[in-house]
Amino acid sequence: MGESGGQPKGGIRPGGERARSATPPSMAVAIAGAVAAALLLLCPAWASAAAAVGEGRRLHTLFSVECGDYFDWQAVGLLHSLRKAGQPGGVTRLLSCAEDQLPSYRGLRIGHTLQVPSYSRHPRTGDWYPAINKPAGVVHWLKNSPEADNVDWVVILDADQIVRGPIIPWELGAEKGKPFAAYYGYLKGCDNILAQLHTAHPEFFDKVGGILAMHIDDLRALARLWLSKTEEVRQDKSHWSTNITGDIYGTGWISEMYGYAIGAAEVGLRHKINDDIMIYLGYIPRPGIEPLILHYGLPFKVGNWSFSKLEHHEDVIVYDCNRLFPPPPFPREVEMMESDPNVKRGLFLSIECINTLNEGLLLHHASVGCPKAQWSKYLSFLKSRRFSELTMPKYWKGQKVDSTITAQHVALSKTNSEYPKIHTLFSTECSSYFDWQTVGLMHSFRLSGQPGNIMRLLSCTDEDLKNYKGHDLAPTHYVPSMSQHPLTGDWYNL
């Protein structure tokens, strides 16, 4: 779409003299005040930003990355979305680089950056686990950054996210001692032996991640525990299995998430958990909900177009002038793809994510001196009023926040079962006698077509647990053993 040109009214006259104002100074002040008030009403992001600088409300946003092209394009996208969303306060990229990486690394000027020591290869154990750089970077920031001494609230995001509106902790309901976080239901270890082994307070173990918004004092209290508990879970290889952790790869990759949850439990933090603020692309948003964070951690598709971040692991797109990710379908094409309004909204969120990423890349390329990109229909769309309207900042409307969340998003595949919700339970003990029975029951369950999920209730004494080898035989919930009654001493294992 074309842009209007010409000299702004009240600007410089042809002779170079600035036009004089005929408005008296007192009236000008009054008008300026009225205009400012009106603008704050019209633009809630400015109002939130203004409130955020008040006493006790200094806000800072953090995200962690490593030295490499893969994280550079994610950082460009996230930083652009934060600016577009009107996020108040400063933003710091915590950059973990090994010493031998720094000389060849090209992305030092991507955003406001604090270089932090790399823990990808653990200095003590030699374990290769780059995800530990997140808590290690936070610990370093708290200790070494002057910014950490001049903020009251901190928001921590992941690099592979696009933000659609300001994330302001107190507006989300966060309080001192009660951080706000997104719900991560697959953290099974919060309910089983993993929690029992690694924290004295398993009752405080919350299934959270994705976005953390908390008071700086709470972050200071838990940061070192977040790091040390991540190390602890990472070393506990005997409990990496999918049935225990929920990690589909069974490789301990989500140890950092457990490290956070355990550290928070140890210092007594109880989260205000919400399942609506963030959505994984490829899922259907709930009716009436506008998520503020788009997480592209999983592959997703719109029609015949698809995107997976892992396909761009070595992509130098940040340094390749005017190259963008393959354009998704245009909005009018998406309109014709789907009749269900909520499925359609999910598709629109998917194209919004990639379009915002591409817009960020386009602006970044221009900022580093790339030549002007050649015209294309897609570039014209990214600069259009239509795209601007579609990506206007969204604002939190007080969606329900709870300390216990059970509902999940529905996959964007129209495979919703028509059966009522059914769950199958069976009870066993820690012994080979019950293990062969479990194998047989699980095999027959899979063959039978029984709808819903199945859960083994496994009764074990603490002593039995240390030597038990059958953790992976079935989805398991660990329950206290009552074989020897704790009050009467009666032995009764039925």
Reported as a single tens digit per residue, the pLDDT across 384-421 is 999 999 999 999 876 654 444 433 334 444 444 344 56
What's the confidence (pLDDT) of residue 465? 78
Instruction: Please state the φ and ψ torsions of residue 244, each to the nearest 5 degrees.
Output: -95, -45
The alpha carbon of 65 is separated from its chain's Cα centroid by a whole number of angstroms, namely 13
Q: How far apart are CA 361 and CA 77, in angstroms?
A: 7
CA atoms within 13 A on the CB side of 213: 23
Q: How far apart are CA 50 and CA 146, in angstroms?
A: 22
- Per-residue HEC secondary structure of the chain comes to CCCCCCCCCCCECCCCCECCCCCCHHHHHHHHHHHHHHHHHHCHHHHHHHHHCCCCCCEEEEEEEECCHHHHHHHHHHHHHHHHHCCCCEEEEEEEECCCCHHHCCCCCCCCEEEEECCCECCCCCCECHHHHHHHHHHHHHHHCHHHHHCCEEEEECCCEEECCCCCHHHHCCECCECEEEECCCCHHHHCHHHHHHCCCHHHCCCEEEEEEEEHHHHHHHHHHHHHHHHHHHHCHHHCCHHHHCCCCCCCCCHHHHHHHHHHHHCCCCCEEECCCEEEECEECCCCCCCCEEECCCCEEECCEEECHHHHCCCCHHHCCCCCCCCCCCHHHHHHHCCCHHHHHHHHHHHHHHHHHHHHHHHHHHHCCCCCCCCCHHHHHHCCHHHHHHCCCCCCCCCCCECCCCCCCEECCCCCCCCCCCEEEEEEECCHHHHHHHHHHHHHHHHHCCCCEEEEEEEECHHHHHHCCCHHHCCEEEEECCCECCCCCCECCC
Query: Other CB atoms closer than 10 Å to residue 433's CB: what's the count?
Result: 9
Q: How far apart are CA 277 and CA 181, in angstroms?
A: 9
Domains in the chain: boundaries: 53-413, 423-480
The alpha carbon of 14 is separated from its chain's Cα centroid by a whole number of angstroms, namely 53
The structure tokens listed for 239 are 């409990």
Angle (nearest 5°) at CA 304 between 302 and 305: 60
What's the confidence (pLDDT) of residue 196? 77
Q: With beta carbons less than 8 A apart as the criterion, state whether 276 and 406 touch.
A: no
Angle (nearest 5°) at CA 79 between 86 and 362: 105
Q: With beta carbons less than 8 A apart as the criterion, state whether 59 and 152 touch.
A: yes
What's the confidence (pLDDT) of residue 398? 64
Which of 264, 175, 258 lies closest to 221, judged by CA?
264
Q: Spell out, as residue ranges, where the chain has pLDDT lower than 70.
A: 1-55, 240, 248-250, 398-421, 446, 449, 485-488, 493-494
pTM, to two decimals: 0.73
Q: Which residues contact 370 (CB under 8 A, 6 or more apart)?
A: 321, 322
The CATH-assigned architecture of domain 53-413 is: Alpha-Beta Complex (3.90)
Query: Other CB atoms closer than 10 Å to residue 439's CB: what's the count?
Result: 13
Burial code (b: 16+ CB inside 10 Å, e: under 16) for 43-61 equals eebbbbbeebeeeebbbbb
What's the confidence (pLDDT) of residue 16? 36
pLDDT digits (tens, 9 = 90+) for 97-132: 999 999 999 999 999 999 999 999 998 888 999 999
Q: Taking every pair of C-alpha atoms in the chain, what is the biggest distance, in angstroms?
A: 103
Question: Can you tell me which residue has the tokens 């892992």?
Answer: 310
- Specify the length of the chain in residues: 494
The structure tokens listed for 145 are 């950054």
Question: Can you tell me which residue has the tokens 């990759």?
Answer: 253
What's the confidence (pLDDT) of residue 411? 42
Which of 113, 129, 133, 110 lies closest to 121, judged by CA?
129
